[in-house]
Structure 1
Amino acid sequence: MSRILVTGAAGAVGSLIRPRLARPGRTLRLLDLVPLDPGEGEEAVQASVTDADAMRAACEGVDAVIHLGGISLEAPWERILDVNIHGTYTVFEAARRAGVARVVFASSNHVVGYRTPAEYPLTADTPPLPDTYYGVSKATGEALGALYHHRYGLDVICVRIMTCFAEPPNPRALSTWLSPDDCARLLEACLAVEKPGYRIVYGVSPNTRGGWVSLDEARALGYAPADDAEVHADAVHAAHGRPAHDDPVFAYLGGPFTFPDLDADRL
């Protein structure tokens, strides 16, 4: 695909994948609220995903949208509703009106954050059980994707991203890490697969301590991951220690997103 719109391009995941998606003959149209300095093969758009007119203009002439934009942590309901839910609707609607054929939606493992280890590995067919307003917003985005595929014919792939950082940030991430290179490999598979229809896949590397979620759906797209968090295990344990087997961070897939400090009256 020759021109791809990436929303939230200045965010954590956007910054990691931006250089990894660069290809000869490809233009990345980068959209974010903050100003971006475009390099070779890039275009920059400063706008909000909640701005319908700006999103419609940003979608003109693109082959696909990778929608990363939004609030990436828990927040009060009003902010989640405006940015993550209304903003995602705005992106899908702008893509439809501009005739974009494909949207890759950055969903999250927090859609199923209250699932327990007894249920692992979770699959694309595992019903939502969100752990936060943030998780609810991602479940809503997946539902919008289903609507826009079945009603309007958009190809929509929802990627339930796990823990995407340059390196695993803590012991829990030794099971949930999605390396930046594997993230780019998965996004390339989402862009390249022919006629995917509507899909839900998990974004995770094939970690030695993994198995929490299924990689079958992502591999079916052509995803060929190559990284393993285990190479970072010694450094992670040296920095953070070794957690107890009954540490509450492992009680649910959502980890600390299920903790009481994110209760609504504390936000």
Structure 2
Amino acid sequence: MAAPHTPPAPRTILLTGAAGGLGTLMRGLLPQHGYDLRLFDVRPVPDAPDAIVADLNDTAALREAVHGVDGVLHLAGISLESTFDKILESNIRGTQRLYEAVREAGGPRVVFASSNHTIGYTPRPHVEDGAPLVPVDTPRRPDTFYGLSKCFGEDLAQYYWDEHGIETVSVRIGSCFPEPTDVRMLSLWMSPADGARLFDAALTAEHVGHTVVHGSSANTRAWWDLTTARALGYAPQDDSEPYAAKLLAAQGPLDDTLPAHHHIGGRFVDDPPIWPH
């Protein structure tokens, strides 16, 4: 008689930024992929009394948070534009402190939430006219201090791989919401379910070193190339197209005479939303 099948034990990952918008979505979805979550945020996490409530300046809390985990999904930080000093403390110094804690813990893999705003000043490709999709190695052109901090995070990940052997997948997230809210987002939208699929692939693929991937669903109107994401095993299942007719009727098509429509970064290039804290 064959021995009964024993399912693999869940992998424990640290989820930073667990109380934020994307963190909240992933708290609900990642356990379906076999993960136990250790939660970390500067704010209390609803319905999670065991969450670690601290900021990225608290090195003792970071050491506690990364101890014994199998991976880190780093979503914490300022996710809109702010002053350089605030971005410096949260997104730049905070991310470096996290990597130091990871290094001290023996180097579990990191999945770093990068952003489309690393290339925000790149003109949007007119793929409908035959232009190629934007490759992941396109030169970075950050559109804000926020985008600049994500460029730093990618370079930090590369350094910690080359210097310390810590693997990272940097995911340049487009817009991860339950549904797209404007015409630009039809091209960059990543459904929450696809987000969980991509983060799972990034956490489990073999031999990633430091890999940069674009993070979106399989959108009919996509602007960027998902080749490196698919190479990790990512198989997106969603498409923004069912939302297109309603959004186009309400907002009209993109107009290249407007900077926010001409560039991948959208309104971040001329009127960025400001972090409220």
Shorter-chain TM-score above 0.5: yes
Is there any run of 5+ residues in structure 2 with no aligned partner, and where?
A: 1-9, 126-130
Are 1:14 and 2:26 counterparts?
no
Normalising by structure 2, we get a TM-score of: 0.88
Normalising by structure 1, we get a TM-score of: 0.91
**Of 47, 52, 60, which aligns to 1:53?**
60
Question: CA RMSD, aligned part only?
Answer: 2.1
Are 1:101 and 2:98 counterparts?
no
Are 1:227 and 2:238 counterparts?
yes
Q: C-alpha separation between the residues in 2 aligned to 1:95 and 1:189?
A: 20
Partner of 1:158: 170
Conserved? CA contact 2:198–2:215, under 8 Å: yes
Are 1:28 and 2:37 counterparts?
yes
Matched AA of 1:80: I
Q: CA deviation at 1:38?
A: 4.6
Partner of 1:44: 51
Bigger radius of gyration, 1 or 2? 2
Q: C-alpha separation between the residues in 2 aligned to 1:31 and 1:126?
A: 33
Partner of 1:81: 88
Q: CA deviation at 1:37?
A: 3.7
The 1:120/1:86 distance shift into structure 2, 3 A limit, reads farther
**Of 121, 133, 155, which aligns to 1:114?**
121
Q: Deviations over 1:16-44 (max 9, x none)?
A: 111110148632001111112456xx941
Matched AA of 1:30: L
Q: C-alpha separation between the residues in 2 aligned to 1:124 and 1:45?
A: 34
Conserved? CA contact 2:176–2:192, under 8 Å: yes
Q: C-alpha separation between the residues in 2 aligned to 1:24 and 1:239?
A: 37
Are 1:237 and 2:248 counterparts?
yes
Q: CA deviation at 1:56?
A: 1.0
Is there any run of 5+ residues in structure 1 with no aligned partner, and where?
A: none
Q: CA deviation at 1:191?
A: 1.1
Conserved? CA contact 2:259–2:269, under 8 Å: no
Conserved? CA contact 1:37–1:44, under 8 Å: no
**Of 216, 222, 242, which aligns to 1:204?**
216
Q: CA deviation at 1:116?
A: 1.2
**Of 129, 141, 145, which aligns to 2:157?**
145
Partner of 2:197: 185
Q: C-alpha separation between the residues in 1 aligned to 2:34 and 2:143?
A: 41
Matched AA of 1:254: G
Matched AA of 1:117: R
Q: Deviations over 1:26-84 (max 9, x none)?
A: 32001111112456xx9411111222111111100101000000000000000000000
The 1:26/1:186 distance shift into structure 2, 3 A limit, reads closer
Q: Deviations over 1:73-127 (max 9, x none)?
A: 0000000000000011011111111113200000001111111135852222112
The 1:120/1:78 distance shift into structure 2, 3 A limit, reads farther
Q: C-alpha separation between the residues in 2 aligned to 1:198 and 1:63?
A: 17
Are 1:252 and 2:263 counterparts?
yes
Q: CA deviation at 1:226?
A: 0.6
Q: CA deviation at 1:194?
A: 1.2
- Work out the percentage of aligned pairs sharing the same amino acid: 46
Matched AA of 1:235: K
Partner of 1:136: 148
Matched AA of 1:205: S
